[in-house]
Amino acid sequence: MSKPVVVIVCELPETLSKQAEASGLVDLRVWRPSPQNPQAKSAPREWLMEHVPGASAIICIPMTKVDEELMDAAGSSLKVVSTMSVGFEHIDMEAAKKRGIRVGYTPDVLSSAVADLSLVLALNLMRNTMEGYHIVKNGMWSKAPWTPVSFCGPAMEGKSVGFLGLGSISQTLVSKLLPFKPKEIVYKVSQPREFDLKDPHFRFLANNDLFQAYTNYHHRLPFPLVNEHDVTAFAQRCDVIFLICNLNASTHHVVDADFLRNMKTTAYLINVGRGGLVDTNALVQALHANEIAGAGLDVLEGEPQIAADHPLLAPELVNKVMILPHMASATQEAREGMALLTAQNALAALGLRPDGPSGEMPTELLR
């Protein structure tokens, strides 16, 4: 009997799949960059179409388009697609469902890393570190003497901090904000949901050691957590807004010209969710018109094809915008955890999970 074939679109920082191959459980088809193109990061379409026929599992990353064509090329042997990501927009979920293909993803394991970088973006903008850095880098320090208000920006303390989406990453960030003493946490979710630590939806906060210690000692929450149902009121109320939610038909361009116009002129927008949550053209106009104070973006529409002359990289916005190349989960620990979970999902769907019930995927989107 032939062994299941697992196609892996790039080398991952995990050893579980290699151990499975060494044990004679699977055959791996792993893409690696060629000497002619050593800078390539993941398998091109041509390689995938050539190597997926007969595959039982595809281990992919967000840059891999797993559509009907690829599933058909794999054939009836394909049992699972496992992605090293929380987002799954690159996978045709309807096509997978129609074919009975299971889909695994990697939530929660990256929550702390993404929360950290979200806070990094917010604090860099609020404390004007970009302006300070460029003054030093451009040799202008001696020409910009100190004044009582030099580089002054707002503190996080006493501010209304908003979250569009309140899943595991957002709740992890809320717990990390505790020492910053915000005035309140305001959140907007798809369905009205008043805050209750007994509600399983809020389990990431309920189970957080620091949050637990505070509430147990003081017998109260460290700050109010308010569910704002109206998107306009939400935009108007917050001093900092974190976008940490899925991209779908209802959230596409949820931050549009009207949303930005309703934000405080002193407010900051931080997007670590998906680029399509924000109307880029509207954001450019809002920043030029001083409708908001700044934007920190780890994701952007059209990424990674972002040219140096992108409107958000205009010289006049250099101190208002901080853009990073989708690196929020980039800690060694988070990426290794994601890679391991990706391999666990794939092997489990094939009945080969060595560390849990056979056939039970640790984190499954579709069955």
For the segment 271-284, what is each residue's pLDDT rounded down to a tens digit?
A: 999 999 999 999 99
CA distance 62 to 9: 10
pLDDT score for 359: 72
Share of the chain above pLDDT 90, in %: 90
3-state secondary structure of 225: strand
Homologous superfamily (CATH) for 5-105+331-350 = NAD(P)-binding Rossmann-like Domain (3.40.50.720)
327: left (phi over 0), alpha (psi -120 to 50) or beta: alpha
Residues facing 163 on adjacent strands: 187, 242
Between the alpha carbon of residue 109 and those of residues 70, 251, 265, the distances in Å are 28, 24, 35
pLDDT at residue 111 in the model: 97
Residue intervals of the chain classified under CATH 3.40.50.720 are 5-105+331-350, 110-323
Predicted structure pTM score: 0.92
Please check whether residue 56 is in contact with residue 1, taking contact to mean a CB–CB distance below 8 angstroms. no
Interval 21-60: pLDDT, tens: 999 999 999 999 988 888 888 999 999 999 999 999 999 9
Q: Where are the alpha helices (DSSP H) in 263-331?
A: 280-288
Measured distance CA(70)–CA(55) in Å, rounded: 11
Confidence of residue 355 (pLDDT cuts 50, 70, 90): low
pLDDT at 366 over 70: no
Residues 6+ apart with CB under 8 A from 139: none
Indicate the angle between helix axes 111-126 and 168-176, nearest 10 degrees.
Answer: 50
* Ramachandran sector of residue 163 (left: φ over 0; alpha: ψ -120 to 50; beta: rest): beta
Residues belonging to the active site: 274, 303, 326
The rounded distance, in Å, linking the Cα atoms of 102 and 349 is: 7
Superfamily (CATH H level) for 110-323: NAD(P)-binding Rossmann-like Domain (3.40.50.720)
The pLDDT of residue 29 is 96
